[in-house]
Structure formats: structure tokens, C-alpha cells
Structure 1
Amino acid sequence: MNTVNGSVLRKRKFNPITTALALALVTPGLYVANATAEEVEEKAKKSKMEAITVTATKRSQVIYEVPIAMSAFSGDALDTQGITGISDVGKFVPNLNITGFSAGHTSSANPFIRGIGLQDHLITTDPGVSVYVDGVYLGRQVGQNWNLQNIDRIEVLRGPQGTLYGRNSIGGAINIITKQPGSKPVTKVSAEVGTRGRLKGDVFVNRELSDKVAVNFSAGFNRRDGLGEFINLPEAKYDVGESREMHGRFSLKYDVNDDLKIVVTADANDGEGGLRPYTTKINEVPNGAYYTGERFGSPLPSGPLRNSDVAADPFDNATGTIEVTEVTNSASGVSFTADYNISDTLGSKFIISNRTSEYKAGLDDDATIYALDHYPEHGDADQTSVELQLNGYVGEVDFVSGVYWFTEEGSNRQGEDSSFNGGGNTLELDQKTTSKAVFVNLGYDATDDLRISGGLRYTQDEKEATANVGTGPTFAEDDWSEVSYDLSANYTMDNGLNIYSSIQSGYQGGQFPARPYCLFGDPTCFVASDNITAVNYEIGLKGEVNSDFNMSIALFNTNYDDLPYQVNTTSEAGFDTANLVVSQTSRGIEWESTWYVTDALSLHTSAGYIDVDVDEKDEVKPVAPLTPKFTASVSPSYAFDLEDGSTITTRIDYSFRDEMYGEPSSDEGRMTTVDSRSLVNFDVSYAPAGADWKVSLYGRNVFDKRYDDARLNTGDYLLVIKSNDASEFGVRYTASY
């Protein structure tokens, strides 16, 4: 057994019998009969594929050896795939769907993995899929739609991650790993100009200041025009869907000595723009409040409303409330990481971070010129996290252990800066969360080919929350605790393919109702849900079938208990959101592969299928929201050399997401089905021989598919949240030196 920076590396043997079985089962057309062990080993040496090293289990491992269903993206290849933000990652990972509709903001990202995600952005709701940047958990996503420059790779872990990750990973985790300062001098600049007013520029610089100190920094600007107009507010600063953003990140690495390395990082972003495109469909039924012009027996100021009062073009907006037309976001953070090798077999890691974020957004729910259901909104969050790890190995046993502490204070104010309700707030939320955990994960090499690992984590959460919907502040507090576990076995066959099986549990503390307007009728309704727990059973096969083909396939079954669904209705005071607590079972299959058809032509594919069954609740059969049954992507790439030595590389990326429900109701009368969508990107790059630059022609959503991100039915009206995605064509220039 060899160790490199504390990571365990195992040598693999080759056997033609196991190779034959694996190839016959997986890809019979690619197997060469009567192959000898020497021939198999020679194929491995000639492999065209570079196995990505990941840290999904907080160990450095080749992706094939991780007993988790996961996808990884190289940061340098994101642009060519048409991935410009974290939301785009959701187009190319099986059983992953990322929407962005929170409060009509253009910078939000709501990941759903295997039927679990974030339905509401308010401070009382925690995400079911955790997002991490260099090991730091991001408690809030509005205002932190990361620009994907300075990214080394992105890892998407599917299924509960209950023992190694900080908080709330009951559906999965997304790890963003940035480029660390190093000794190699690098300067990289890129510029992009395209349709829809796209103007984008980025710079990344890495320098070694001495043999012990290195720094890097990145900075950028991104602008894109809108998709519609505020037809009743010509004075609006921005068009519908317009966005402007600036961002920067600085990192310093200090190698104190051979055993101690320190990294200090600071980042910030600032954005503003126009409200996300959406439209409202008024329920024109005899007893509908908008149709009759009355709500709860009181006449509406506008009288009866019809769909003709809403903008005819769903990408225009007919609001008469100037306060909801502009959205803003800002976030900043600092982190300190220290890696210390205590001995040749024992190391430690310390991470402390503070992050703040704030946003302004809000919707005019009725989407008309009348002052009815409009809710300008402000939100902010301040979080601090500390993690101390002790890692190492003894003989054939390696371990990752540690303690974790997280605290967050945040608030939301709805109705502020509005003429509605005399300019006062219609909703005030404040919450303080504290989470503490201790964890240990062990790995044992039973043989050169069989690895067994298991882990335990004890987590304790506390929340203190205050809600005010105009009836006076209501205070509530609660606490939760849970022991999470996982057990997995990973067997490496003689040809290098890995078979794994795992049982993983996940946990998330309960949550308070997001919009508790029920307080008008029930002063005691501001109560948190119970522990949310998940148990996932999974088997998979992954690795290089031969030098031209790699693949991964996973089958899973996940049981969730006490899972809160957010259910929305209109109340006398406003938009009420309550928790419907359910039990859910998700089962399915996932596939990813890369095939080098020739030296010039490669083909990457992904596919996912999920069947979600939710127990009947109060004589209602809920459904998993924002979860397409089928997901798929196909990405061929072809490169060829010209006579002068220059290279042209072409790539097409096709992504499919099946139809899904926008909220936890399958009632056809609520019209919450979101149609399926197929999107196509292309990229054609030209790199001169021996040059340090390249130029690319790109197209994103080339057929201009206009699709819905989500749908919410309150009973009086249906909110149709449109994607801010639209066709875009342009030129990108990149130079590195």
C-alpha cells in the first residue's frame, strides 16, 4: 500500500476471466475474446481517459473507487459544455434537476437530487441538497449563484451523505472545489460577447511569491439583457430577466514547513437586475376570488380580474408595483484552512469560515397593474462554521474523523418598501440555527481488491425562530438529534472495474412553516416538523471497461420519513405556506459513460430514471415536486487537426428533462404539471498550432426552448415561473500564458 499526501492508493491486478464477465455483462460489443492478462494490462496503459481524482469521501480517491453514485466536471471544460453557472450543471447529471425561481430572483439555484431538494428559499427552510465550496457549507443559495471561474472541478454526490458532510445532505451534495495557489505561474483571461446583450470577462492569475507562499485571484463581470418588459412601468431600471454581476476571489497558500500548510481565502460577488420572468393564470371559476372580485367576503380593490389583465406575452410583466421590478444580491466570505501532518500516518485539518449574504426580490403574484398580492422582499443570512478533522491510517485501516459546528442567523421581510399594507411588512421571519456534530468513518482493505468502509455521525440541531404576520411576534424553538450511519463495500475486479454496494442514512432537522399566515386563525400553528430521516440502499458498477470506454451504473432505493412538503394556499392575509409531512420512497437507476469512438471522436452519455411513491396523507395522494421521471444527456465531441497543425474541436450537448409536477399535488385541476424540455448547446473552438489562445463560437439553447421552472397553485391563481434561459449565440476568446 502506498500513501500520497495521506491518501491510500492500491495496486490492482488483472485477470482475463473477470474481465470477460464484466465486458459481457456491460458492453458485449466492446469485448475482445480470448484476451490475456498481459493484453488487458496493456490496454489499461493505453487508456485515453484520465481518471478524475475526487474528494467525495474527504479522501483523495480515483472516482471509480468511490462507493457513491457521483458525477464530476472538470472546471476547464465547463465553458465548452455550455455551463455558465451552477444551474446549468443540473442539465447533465442523471436524476438531478436545478431550478431557479426563489422570490423571482435571477441568481437563485434550487437543486433537486432523486426527488429531494429545496422548495422554498425562506430562512426557516433548509435545503435537502447541500452545496459546499472548498469544504464550507452554504446555508443559503439566493444571492450565491457561483460564477464557475477559478473552479478545479465540481462533484455531484447523489443520495444521502449522512456521515461525512456538515448539514442536511439527505438528497445529495454538490462540492465546488476551487483551484489552489501553486508554484506554476498562470495567467488566464477570457472574454465573451453574444446575443441577448451578453458581455462577459474574466481573469485568473496564479503566482508563487516565494518558495513558501503562493497566491491566486480571479475577477469577472457578467451582463445579460432581459427577455421582456414591465409594460406598465416604463421607469423600471431593468427589463424582465436582465442581470449584471461582478465577482472576485483571492486565495493565499503558505507552506509553513513540510508538515503545515495554510490557505486563506476571501471572495465576494454583487449583482442586480430585473425580476425573473413569470406569469399568472387566474382561475376563472365561479367561486374564485379573482373571478368574483371578492376574497373572504370582502370586495377586492380592483374588482373582478381576468386573464386579460395579465401581460399577453408571458415574458412581459404587467405589475404596477415598482418595488418588485428590481432584484439585487450580494455575498462575501472568508475562510481559513490549515493542514497539518502530525506524523507519517496521521494528519489533521482545520476549517473555519464566515459567510454573509443578502438579497432583494419579490413577486407581484396577481401580475396585474392592481395593488393586490404583491410582496417585495428582503433577506439576509450570516453563518459561521468550524470543522476539525483527524485523519490517517493504521495498517490496512484508514479513517476520517472530526467535530463540526455551524451557526446561522437570518431574516426575511416581506412587503417592506411597498405601498401595500401602508408600507409595512406582511411577513417577518427571524431564525437562529446551531448545529453540532461528531463523526468518524473507517476504511479497511480486506484484500488488495476488497475495501469495506463504514461511518457514524451524531448531530444535534437547535433552532429559535420568530414569525410575525401582523398579529404580533410569535416565538418558537425546538431541537433535534440523530445518529447517521453508512456501510459500504467496494470490490475492484481484475480488469479495474469496481462493484460497490452501500447502505447510507441521512438526517435533517425539522423546519418551521415558511409563511405561517395560519397564525390569524391558530396562534399555535408555528410549530416545527420532526426529524427528517433517510435510508438509501444502493449497488453500482463503475470503471474503465477498456482503454476506449468507461461507465458507471447505479441502482438505488431510498426511504424518507417525516419529509415536509411545502403546500401553498391563499389566506385572508396573504400567501400561506404550510408543511405537509409525508413518507416517501424513491427508487431508480442511473447511467453515465464516455466512449472514445476514435482518437478524434468521443461520446459522453447520461441517463436517469426515478419512480417516487409518496404515502397518502389526509386522503390526498401527494407527489414529489420538481422531479422528472426521466433525465438524459448526450454529448458528442469531435476534434481534428488542420494541415498547419492547428486544431478545431466541435461539441454538441443535448439535455432532456421529463415532465414533472411543480408542487406536491397531482390534481389535474391545479394545472401544476411542468412540460418536458429538450435543450441543445454547441461549441466550436479553434486553437492555432503552438499558440496560447483559442477562439470559440458557441450556441446555448440553440432552438430557443422557452420552458417553465416551476408552477405553484394557490387556489385563486396559478404562478407559472418561467426559465430565464433563452437562445444565445456568441464568440468566446480564451488565452493562457
Structure 2
Amino acid sequence: MTTITRHRAAPWWPLALAGLCHGAGAQTELPAVTVTANKQAQALDAVPAGVTVHEGEVLEAAGVTSLRALEEITPGLSFQPFGQSGIHSPVVRGLSANFFSFSTSTLLLVDGVPTLMAQGFDNSLLAIDRVEVLRGPQSTLYGRNAEAGVINIHTLAPGYAARTMLSTAFGSRGKQGLRFDLSRPLVEDTLYASVSGSWTRQHGFIDNTLNGGTADDREQGDARFALRWTPDRDTDATLRYAQQTWRDGAALWGAPAAARATVASGTPSWNHSIARTLSLDVSHAFASGLRLRSITARNEFFDRVMQDTDFRAPDTLHIGRDHRFQTLSQELRLEGSAGASQWLAGLYLDRDDHALANEQKLPLALTRSLAEQRGRTAALFTHWSVPLSAQWKVEAGARIERNELNFTPGGQPRRSADDTRFSPKLALQYQATPDSHLYASVSEGFRAGGFNVFVPAANYAAFAPETVRSFEIGTKGTLLQRRLRYAAALYRMNVRDMQVQQMPTPGVVYITNAASATSTGAEFELDYLLATGWRLQSGLAFNRTRFGTFRDGSDVYDGHRNPFAPDLNGHVGLRYDAPKGWHVQATLTATGKVYLDAANRYSRNGFGLLNLSAGKTWGAFELSAYVHNLADRRYDAVGYQNGIVTVYSPPREVGMRLTWRM
């Protein structure tokens, strides 16, 4: 959090638009980028880890309005094909988690508030300052479920500079959208407020031949409010509330044997989920140079779903969920300096309180299961950045974390599990030139264990935490008078007690610690001001995640690929901003083939997408048009849920946006 400097400033939007004119006019070098990957402000090029940063105004101008869209512009990041809004399981460097485990391998943070599972792992990227995607184990600073990385979203805080943005959108399949962001000072130099929101509605593309309509219509709403108080130069407090709602039809599912994007479903399918977050973020700078920060939060997600799973007229097979997930969290951090060294120490506490209600319809029975799951986490952590000489620096950190979990199936005795983990990290950095750095690091991460909450046949068996040890070397910096920024990294991760989803029969899903694995790979990023008005941005990630030893009964999966982990993904984007206010942009993204199960029987083929956009600015107004998936590529996940479901990919979308800023 930044302490306010008490003076008037120019409105924010001309500066934002200037930043979007990639190389236009007087821009002759790339701007400096500051991140908080290590929970302290630091230049991007000086962070000894793989980090991709997306500026909020660039995302807004490009029409990137969903968390899932980040996979198209972030090397090493993808998401499992699930087909339901509000639930996304990320895949970073080949590691992922199934949503049945109620955890993720990558942590989502929004203004310091954690989301620890796929349920609620979503964001409309509204009123964003920046998004930082950290790759590699981050458990030292961020704790459980950051074993593969962190997606850290920072929203725009209200301040002394007023801002206003209003945007409308229209597109294919009757798409309608509205986004707004309003921020004003209420009391000069003391109290500020902002309110923002979005609403999107769009018809589906999956035809229900039984009733003549579409099965998968979508409607999403988002509302955010922030109140910021700065009683003096040293104290900064922000109260935030955010809510997302979904009023969708069916998931993007169909039967593998049916005609594509066609169902004949007689069972109503819908998603009426809600996410709510309330947080208080306070920081204070002491005269001694120390800074204290506190983030107190309540994060809730209500997963309310009914879904047909045989896609036929009679109600033979369906699933239903009415889950409530609630996490209360508290983080305290103290940071300061000791000579030339920078240090940070902190305390983290959280409490989970989850109420789970599951329904499953089989041909001969309707089963309803109730359960409660409660957990507690307590952790102490520290991080140090110590210069060894003018060119050498070491960064070191450690975290000790205690997790306790209590699980109570309906009508059954309570089951308990606990675990204590020590997660160290050490990085050595060398500044080869004023504009280039080399680094090497070793770190450990882990993902929390749990219980198979809806598998009474296995006596609700527990599964242990998954652990990772990572080795990484990399380089980053700038060239050509700061007109080119580059980053490259090589890594190897050894995974122990790997959590693997098994589905022996349709509808029966459980998690076991069935495998060891290795993940090796390389990542490259490039940001280049080619010439006046021209900017090239690209990223490429190679990954090879394979099981070491994996026995599932009589089946041997040694050497198989980890589900949902592509061997390749990347993007290249080219944008031109003309001096007269118009722009054109083309982005090509590619993702390799992924398997959907540990046996590697079912898969989604690799694919490439070409996205185009163009626009013109007149004063405070901007009119733009876009085409997503120009070639109308199909990349269905055929055989999801152990062969019983196809997750359909969305078709080409064409649309327009009109935006007003002042």
C-alpha cells in the first residue's frame, strides 16, 4: 500500500491512454515496472523468479475481462477445461488440482484476500491496477496451495485523483455488457471512495433439441465498493466489499457420442453461484522506518448447481451441489531495513468453515450427502534481501505452517488430520550489467491434504499433502536502450505424494497420493518497442510433467503425463498505435494437447487461436471492435469425467465496445 503524497494530480485516464499507445509519439523506452511478488515493492527485473505482469489499463483496452483469459497471454499458465463459471482450477508449470480436493496448486489473491480452492477462483478483472502471475513454488511467503505459483490481483484504490469509466459492449449470440468505475475524494486529502460494477449476458451455443432453446445461456454480475481513509501521511486504511453473481444455464457439457453442441436434456441445469468478499487493509509507517500492515478478510463462495449428466429426456443421471465455503483470514506483516538489507516478518491465521450438500441421481437411486469441513491454519514467515556486494545479492525466506482439518460426514463420527510444514527458499542473484540480472533459486512448496468427502465406500479416506522441491535458474533485463525487456527461466520440480484423481466408475471420484512426478521446463518472455507506434509482446513455455511411479491397482501409469498439463503454450501479439488515435492489434495463442485422466485415455487436442481488435479514440471516447477465435477453432475436451462428458469450446465471437473516460 502506498502512502499518499498530498498534492493535486492530473486525471488518471490520459496517463493510462498514453501507456496504451505502445511506442506511439514520444515513447522511446519501456516503462519501469514495480511488483510486490515478495510482498515488498521491487523492480520487476530484480525479482529472482518467473513473474508476468499485466497492467490493468492494457487488459481493459484489450477486452480481457475474465481470469481465464489470462492463459492466452501468460506463458506457463492454463486452466482445466471444466465448463462452469465461478470454478476454475489453474495449471502452472504442469501442476494442478481437481476441484473435488477443495484445494488448488496455485493461490489466487485479490488485494491480499486468498482463495484457496477452485470454487470461487474467478474474477471479472474490473478496475484493475495490475495482475502479477508468479510461477514456481511460493509457499514460503504465501503458504498452502501456492506450491506451483500465485495469481496476485491488485485493484485500483480510490485516491485524490477522480476517475470515471463507463463501457458498453455488444457481440455475438446476443451479448450485452456494461462496465463502470467511479472514484472520488469525499474529504480532501483524507477520505476517498470508489464504486465499480459489471454486467454481462449472452445466449448459449449448445442446442437443446428437446425444448428448442439453448442450454448454456450466461449472465454474470459484479459489484465492488472501496472506502479509503488516510488520516495522516503515515496511515492508510481501505475497506473493500466485492460480490460476484452467476445466473447461468448448464455447464458447457454434452455426451461424447452426441452431435456436437447438442443435447436433448429434460432435466433443468443451472448455476446460481455467489461470491462475496469483505476485507480491511491497514498499513502504518513508523518514524523508525518500520512499516506494519494488517489484512483482515472474510471470503465466501456459494456453489449452487444442478446439472444433467446423461443429456436425455428422462431424469436418469444428474448431479446437484449446494455448498457454502467460508474462510476468515488475518495477516500481519512488519517490514524494515537493517543496513542495506531489506526484511519482512509476518503472522498468518485462517479458519475454514465449509458446509457441503451433494446430490447424485443414478438410474436406481437418488443419493443426498451432507458434510461439514472445518480447518485452521497458523503460520510464521520471514523474507530477507541481503546485498553481498555491488553485484551479488541473496534472498532467503522460511515459513513454518500448521494446518488442522476436521471433517464430519452426515451421521458419521468426526475425522481429523493435522500437518506441520517448513517451507524454505533461497535465491542468489548476480547483476551482470546495469540492465541485466542472473539468478538461481531452490524452494519448497506444498498443497494441503484433505478427505474424500463424498466417498463413503472408501470410508472417506484421507489424502496427505503434496510437496514440491524446485530448482530454477534464469535471466532477465533490458536491451537496446530499454526498448526490449526479456526474461528466461529453466526449472525442475520434484513432486512427492502427488494427489491424483481417480474415477473407477461414473460418479465415483476420489483423490489418492498415488504418484511421484517430475516437472521440467523452460519459459521465455519478450516485450519489444519495434518502432514508433509498434509493440511486440510474446511468451513461450515448454513443460514436461510426467509420473515417476504410479500404480493404481493392477494398472501401471509410470511415465504417463499429468492430466491437464500441456507440454507447450505461448502467445505473440503485435499492436500498432497511430498518432491520430486509432490502433490495431493481433494476438496468436497456442496450447498443446492435454490428457484428461491419469491413464491418458482421454484428451483435448492442441489448438491455436487468432484474436483481432481495432479501435479509434476521440477525446474521452473510444470505439473498438474485436474478433475472438477468428478461425472458429474447436478444442473440445472429449472424455472429461472418465469418458462420460465432452466439455465444448466456445465458438468465434465478434463484438464492439464503446468506452468513455474522464
What's the TM-score, normalizing by structure 2?
A: 0.91
Aligned position for 2:412: 473
Which one-letter code corresponds to 2:144 in the other structure? R
**Which blocks of at least 5 consecutive residues in structure 1 are unaligned?**
7-44, 282-306, 520-524
User: How many angstroms apart in 1 are the aligned matches of 2:557 and 2:413?
Assistant: 30
Aligned position for 1:21: none
Which one-letter code corresponds to 1:558 in the other structure? M
Query: What secondary structure is seen at the aligned counterpart in 2 of 1:209?
Result: strand
Q: 2:84·2:252 contact (CA, 8 Å) conserved in 1?
A: no
Q: 1:99·1:709 contact (CA, 8 Å) conserved in 2?
A: no
Task: Pick closer, same or farther for the CA change 1:342–1:517 going to 2, 3 Å.
Answer: same
Question: Which stretch shifts more, 453-462 or 138-147?
Answer: 138-147
Query: What secondary structure is seen at the aligned counterpart in 2 of 1:87?
Result: helix
Match of 1:687 among 617, 623, 630: 617
**Which blocks of at least 5 consecutive residues in structure 2 are unaligned?**
5-25
Per the TM alignment, residue 88 of structure 1 is displaced from its structure 2 partner at its CA by 0.5
User: How many angstroms apart in 2 are the aligned matches of 1:411 and 1:233?
Assistant: 35
How is 1:301-340 mapped onto 2 (pairs within 5 angstroms)? 307=257, 311-312=258-259, 314-322=260-268, 325-340=269-284
Match of 1:453 among 373, 395, 398: 395
Query: What secondary structure is seen at the aligned counterpart in 1 of 2:57?
Result: helix
2:659 aligned with 1:729? no
Aligned position for 2:66: 85
Deviations 1:683-733 (A, max 9, x none): 101013xx112111111112222222574354xx4322223x321111111
2:564 aligned with 1:626? yes
User: How many angstroms apart in 2 are the aligned matches of 1:50 and 1:138?
Assistant: 31
Q: 1:252·1:263 contact (CA, 8 Å) conserved in 2?
A: yes
User: How many angstroms apart in 1 are the aligned matches of 2:3 and 2:395?
Assistant: 20
**RMSD, matched Cα:** 2.2
Match of 1:150 among 102, 127, 152: 127
2:185 aligned with 1:208? yes
2:501 aligned with 1:566? yes
* Runs (4+) off by over 4 Å: 418-424
Match of 1:605 among 538, 542, 565: 538
Q: 2:521·2:542 contact (CA, 8 Å) conserved in 1?
A: yes
Query: What secondary structure is seen at the aligned counterpart in 2 of 1:597?
Result: strand
2:504 aligned with 1:576? no
Report percent identity of matched pairs.
23
User: How many angstroms apart in 2 are the aligned matches of 1:419 and 1:319?
Assistant: 15
Q: 1:125·1:514 contact (CA, 8 Å) conserved in 2?
A: no
Per the TM alignment, residue 364 of structure 1 is displaced from its structure 2 partner at its CA by 2.8
User: How many angstroms apart in 2 are the aligned matches of 1:473 and 1:460?
Assistant: 26
User: How many angstroms apart in 1 are the aligned matches of 2:282 and 2:330?
Assistant: 12
Task: Pick closer, same or farther for the CA change 1:682–1:594 going to 2, 3 Å.
Answer: same
2:480 aligned with 1:546? yes
Q: 1:277·1:317 contact (CA, 8 Å) conserved in 2?
A: no
How is 1:257-276 mapped onto 2 (pairs within 5 angstroms)? 257-276=232-251
User: How many angstroms apart in 2 are the aligned matches of 1:447 and 1:615?
Assistant: 41
Q: 1:142·1:329 contact (CA, 8 Å) conserved in 2?
A: no
Q: 1:333·1:354 contact (CA, 8 Å) conserved in 2?
A: yes
Which one-letter code corresponds to 2:248 in the other structure? G
Query: What secondary structure is seen at the aligned counterpart in 2 of 1:164?
Result: helix
Per the TM alignment, residue 162 of structure 1 is displaced from its structure 2 partner at its CA by 1.5
Q: 2:103·2:118 contact (CA, 8 Å) conserved in 1?
A: no
Query: What secondary structure is seen at the aligned counterpart in 2 of 1:493?
Result: strand
Query: What secondary structure is seen at the aligned counterpart in 2 of 1:369?
Result: coil
User: How many angstroms apart in 2 are the aligned matches of 1:536 and 1:576?
Assistant: 30
How is 1:57-76 mapped onto 2 (pairs within 5 angstroms)? 57-76=38-57
Match of 1:352 among 267, 286, 296: 296
Question: Which stretch shifts more, 137-146 or 541-550?
Answer: 137-146
What is the number of residues matched between the two proteins? 634
Deviations 1:369-420 (A, max 9, x none): 343332122221111000000111110111111000111111332227x797
Per the TM alignment, residue 270 of structure 1 is displaced from its structure 2 partner at its CA by 1.5
Aligned position for 1:703: 631
User: How many angstroms apart in 1 are the aligned matches of 2:437 and 2:391?
Assistant: 9
Q: 1:105·1:142 contact (CA, 8 Å) conserved in 2?
A: no
Q: 2:497·2:513 contact (CA, 8 Å) conserved in 1?
A: no
2:80 aligned with 1:110? no
User: How many angstroms apart in 1 are the aligned matches of 2:639 and 2:562?
Assistant: 13
2:217 aligned with 1:217? no
Per the TM alignment, residue 62 of structure 1 is displaced from its structure 2 partner at its CA by 1.3
Per the TM alignment, residue 144 of structure 1 is displaced from its structure 2 partner at its CA by 5.1
Query: What secondary structure is seen at the aligned counterpart in 2 of 1:615?
Result: strand
User: How many angstroms apart in 1 are the aligned matches of 2:355 and 2:81?
Assistant: 20
Deviations 1:288-341 (A, max 9, x none): xxxxxxxxxxxxxxxxxxx4xxx42x322223222xx11111111110111011
Deviations 1:38-94 (A, max 9, x none): xxxxxxx98520122111110111111111101010111114434220000012211
2:620 aligned with 1:674? no
Q: Larger radius of gyration, structure 1 or 2?
A: 1
How is 1:370-389 mapped onto 2 (pairs within 5 angstroms)? 370-389=314-333
Per the TM alignment, residue 566 of structure 1 is displaced from its structure 2 partner at its CA by 0.7
Per the TM alignment, residue 232 of structure 1 is displaced from its structure 2 partner at its CA by 2.5
Task: Pick closer, same or farther for the CA change 1:579–1:364 going to 2, 3 Å.
Answer: farther
Aligned position for 1:287: none
User: How many angstroms apart in 1 are the aligned matches of 2:606 and 2:171?
Assistant: 27
Q: 1:81·1:681 contact (CA, 8 Å) conserved in 2?
A: no
Deviations 1:237-264 (A, max 9, x none): x832211111111111111212211111
Q: 1:385·1:404 contact (CA, 8 Å) conserved in 2?
A: yes
Which one-letter code corresponds to 2:246 in the other structure? G
User: How many angstroms apart in 2 are the aligned matches of 1:371 and 1:577?
Assistant: 25
Which one-letter code corresponds to 1:488 in the other structure? A
2:98 aligned with 1:98? no
Q: 1:515·1:578 contact (CA, 8 Å) conserved in 2?
A: no
Per the TM alignment, residue 143 of structure 1 is displaced from its structure 2 partner at its CA by 4.3
Query: What secondary structure is seen at the aligned counterpart in 1 of 2:207?
Result: coil
What's the TM-score, normalizing by structure 1?
A: 0.82
Q: 1:517·1:575 contact (CA, 8 Å) conserved in 2?
A: no
Q: 1:214·1:252 contact (CA, 8 Å) conserved in 2?
A: yes
Q: 1:114·1:158 contact (CA, 8 Å) conserved in 2?
A: yes
Task: Pick closer, same or farther for the CA change 1:591–1:144 going to 2, 3 Å.
Answer: closer
How is 1:370-449 mapped onto 2 (pairs within 5 angstroms)? 370-415=314-359, 424-425=367-368, 427-449=369-391
Per the TM alignment, residue 486 of structure 1 is displaced from its structure 2 partner at its CA by 0.3
User: How many angstroms apart in 2 are the aligned matches of 1:526 and 1:220?
Assistant: 41
Deviations 1:200-244 (A, max 9, x none): 11111111112211111101211111012332345xxx8322111
Aligned position for 1:54: 35
Match of 2:574 among 609, 616, 636: 636
Deviations 1:575-619 (A, max 9, x none): 232424211110110000011111121111110101112112223
Per the TM alignment, residue 424 of structure 1 is displaced from its structure 2 partner at its CA by 4.9
Task: Pick closer, same or farther for the CA change 1:230–1:517 going to 2, 3 Å.
Answer: farther
Deviations 1:432-466 (A, max 9, x none): 12111000111112223322110010001011113
Q: 1:566·1:580 contact (CA, 8 Å) conserved in 2?
A: no
